Amino acid sequence: MTSQPAYSLYGEPANRYSRPAQSQPNSRLAAASAPYVGRNRCIANNDTCEGPKAKETDYCVGHLRSMAKKDDK
């Protein structure tokens, strides 16, 4: 059996008349205007920490403190 899109069973695509939100008039979702500067989140715990990076490091303040405690022991 071969797969086919569900809309093909009914004759026309479901999103035929829809447009992306940013192209809609008076849309709250604005088009991206600033360049992407990269991800600004901690990389600890296999990249699952959601804390913001501390200045000039790859870790959040909490993980920097816990690493400092480990080094002191």
More confident residue, 22 or 46: 46
- Write the pLDDT tens digit of every residue in 42-64: 888 887 888 999 988 889 999 99
**What is the per-residue pLDDT for 22?**
57
Q: What is the DSSP string of 2-34?
A: ----GGGGTTS-TTTT---GGGSTT-SSPPP-S
- The arithmetic mean of pLDDT across residues 1-11, rounded, is 72
**What is the per-residue pLDDT for 66?**
92
29 has pLDDT over 70 = no
**Going by C-beta distance under 8 Å and a sequence separation of 6 or more, which residues neighbour residue 20?**
none
Tell me the C-alpha distance between 4 and 44, whole Å.
Answer: 42
The overall average pLDDT reported for the chain is 77
Residue type, 40: N
